[in-house]
Amino acid sequence: MDLQEYFRRIGFSGLYEKPDLATLCTVHELHVMNIPFENLSIHCGERNIMALQIIFEKIVRNRRGGWCCENNLLFSWVLKEMGYKYTTLGCKVFNTLKNDFNPFNSHLINMVELEGKPYIADVSYGVSGQIWYPLEMIAGKDHRQPSGIFRLLNDGERWVLEKTGRQPMVQNNANTSSNLVDKRVTKTMYSFLLIPRGIDHFINTCEYLQTNPESLFTQKSICSLQTPTGFRALIGWTYSEVTFNPEDDTDIYEMRDVDDNLKAFERRLTEYVSCLQPATGRWRMILIVVSVCTATGAWNWLIDPDTQKVTQKLTEMFEK
């Protein structure tokens, strides 16, 4: 893995002499602007694996996106390579249906320490809850960012991140009541403890989120990317383009359903990929067996004494 490859992936061309806040903010912003938050692998017969080399190949070299366990794990490697002091933490996401935090850590973030001050770096929450720049961990402080005001609260042990946004203005009347439009002005996002977590802590959760029918990620395909003026998202069959409008304290939503032909194509493609994967594995195994048998036969033929005699006779004939 090469840090310069990552820099090219996010479009970072600056120079850095030491790990400082300005560079961290720049890299953080470029990541969310160029690498999508998405769970498309789950719906294409692929598996999301907590292995850094595989994640690097997927996101950096294949120019894909990923969900939090991929994006923020990759970002922890970037922090390490750039010389930042960081700690990986686990978060319990707030469940609006249950009006409580989920019982397990399903979100991964990084806490970065700079000049004795801790900051939260999270490059993979997606859609309207995505922070663009790290948040200094000062309880109750308002952090104004393009998508709204983020705030960290602390009760002595547990930290909670909440966001105050703006009024959504949906341009298409047919989508006014869509559950994809978050009408809450202030919302709780997730909570976390300052307990360092390793990759192993998230493996079971990663498996649950991509296999359990109750998981949001198995129920709907999600892909979102931040833009200089807002964000774009394709959730299920609904495409949204959101423009932040802080002057009027609103966010403008342009929403439309994806064309039926594209839906049919996506279904057929998913079926094809799902069916192809086991078949590809079988054919690969057959090819390996045939190759080994061919190589073994060729080697035995070459070392056979009779073969050498025939080769010598043929050589003598051609020399005459």
Active-site hit among 28, 31, 43, 68: 68
For position 182, what pLDDT does the model report?
A: 82
CATH number of the structural domain 3-255? 3.30.2140.20
Q: Specify burial of residue 23 (Cβ count, 10 A radius: 0-12, 13-18, 19+).
A: middle
Tokens of 195: 């307990």
Active-site hit among 107, 143, 206, 251: 107
For position 97, what pLDDT does the model report?
A: 87
Q: Domain segments of the chain: what residues?
A: 3-255, 276-319
Q: Is 107 among the residues known to form the active site? A: yes
For position 310, what pLDDT does the model report?
A: 42
Backbone φ and ψ of 153, nearest 5°:
-115, 155
For position 301, what pLDDT does the model report?
A: 44
181 within 8 A of 166, measured Cβ to Cβ = no
For 236-264, b/e burial (b = at least 16 CB within 10 A) is eebbbbbebeeeeeebbbbbeeeeeeeee
For position 287, what pLDDT does the model report?
A: 46
Q: Is 91 among the residues known to form the active site? A: no
- Between the alpha carbon of residue 4 and those of residues 1, 72, 82, the distances in Å are 9, 18, 11
For position 173, what pLDDT does the model report?
A: 79
**Mind listing the pLDDT tens digit of every residue in the chain (320 residues)?**
999 999 999 999 988 888 999 999 999 999 999 999 999 999 988 999 999 999 999 999 999 999 999 999 999 999 999 999 999 999 999 998 899 999 999 999 999 999 999 999 999 999 999 999 999 999 999 999 999 999 999 999 999 999 999 999 999 877 877 878 888 889 999 999 999 999 999 999 999 999 999 898 999 999 999 999 999 999 998 999 999 999 999 999 999 888 766 666 666 666 655 565 555 555 455 444 444 444 444 445 444 555 444 444 433 443 44
